[in-house]
Structure 1
Amino acid sequence: MKRIVAGVWKLIRGPLQWRILWLAHAKFMVGVTGVVRNEQGQILLLKHRMWPAERPWGLPTGYAVKGEEFPNTVVREVREETGLEVLPGRLVQVTSGYKLRMEIAYEALHVGGTLKLDGFEILEAKWFSPDGLPDGMQDSHVQLIKSGTPA
């Protein structure tokens, strides 16, 4: 049976193969989070308007647009949400297992810009020490911060 399937697969090379692959595989969004630090090692946290009221604080995050390189998503999202400029760093985490998305996190370094909040999505932005995080944070974001904290 495997030989028959392999033979048919070879016969339908090109667009038909890709259509079958597209139909057979999951379609999903990619959420990208930035663990943004300043030169003092503080973490940029945002109070998100659309997140649950009991957990509004978290890292800058958003969805990648089609064709966008994920480190550039961090740069774009931080700029859109805060007006700040960042330099993306190392990949911190890739998480799958969600129904229609996967999550990726990068370190990033604050390199400039003037704080100007996107008032629609973001209520507040503050720098916090990794040991002094606010109540009401996303657990996954606390773990990202703690996993990247220098010893």
Structure 2
Amino acid sequence: MKPYAYCPICGKELAPSFLEGRQRMVCLECGWIHYSNPLPVAIACTLNAQGELLLIRRAHEPAFNEWALPGGFLESGEHPEEGCLRELKEETSLEGRVERLIGVYHRESTMYGSLLAVAYAVTASHEDIRINHEVFEAGFYPVERMPEVRIPLHLQIIREHRDAMESKRA
């Protein structure tokens, strides 16, 4: 995402300034400060009743044509759990229940800049998958037959979820 170049309050050009311990863009006319905050993302690490993992193959950038976990940007005023389940339903028509928080992660994206990703373990209510325009295909896969997931954050989420499940069983 392109950073602000002009003040949204008075329209004057912003200038770089070291403020509050960081480099920020500031309006020298009215004092408005551009705080470059991360965009919030929710990710659903979804299992069916048999313990198979839901993966989607993305139809848009970023990570076009890559296998991934369902997820997307939170909307204004939306709780991360709600956004997680909304994205799951939008992309796959699946409903589910959030079981627990897996983790919160910061990533830099070349397309969107700073992202704050919140990942949840979700149990699917059913397996009637119907994909939308954001997805080429989707399905539940046992661990030994999963398509290759190459997105580092999604691999980390899957690994952390599996580790938590295994330590619960032990």
The answer to whether the superposition gives a TM-score over 0.5 is yes
Match of 1:73 among 78, 83, 86: 83
Q: How does 1:100-119 map to 2 (within 5 A)?
A: 100-112=114-126, 114-118=128-132
Q: 1:67 to 1:113 in 2, by over 3 A?
A: farther
Between Structure 1 and Structure 2, the one with more strand by share is 2
**When the two structures are aligned, how many residues end up with a matched partner?**
129
Q: Structure 2: state its 5+ residue gaps.
A: 1-30
Q: 1:88 aligns to what SS in structure 2?
A: strand
TM, length-normalised to structure 2: 0.68
* Structure 1 portions without partners, runs of 5+: 1-19
Q: Which amino acid aligns with 1:129?
A: P
Percent identical across equivalent pairs? 24
Q: What is the TM-score when the length of structure 1 is the normalising length?
A: 0.75
Alignment check: 8 A CA contact 1:83 1:113 kept: no
Counterpart amino acid of residue 27 in structure 1? N
Deviation, structure 1 residue 28: 2.7
RCO comparison, higher one (Cα < 8 Å, 6+)? 1
* Residue in structure 2 matching 1:32, options 23, 28, 42: 42
CA distance, structure 1, for counterparts of residue 40 and residue 52 of structure 2: 26
Instruction: Give, as a single letter, the amino acid of the residue that structure 2 aligns with 1:74.
Output: C
- Superposed CA RMSD: 2.1
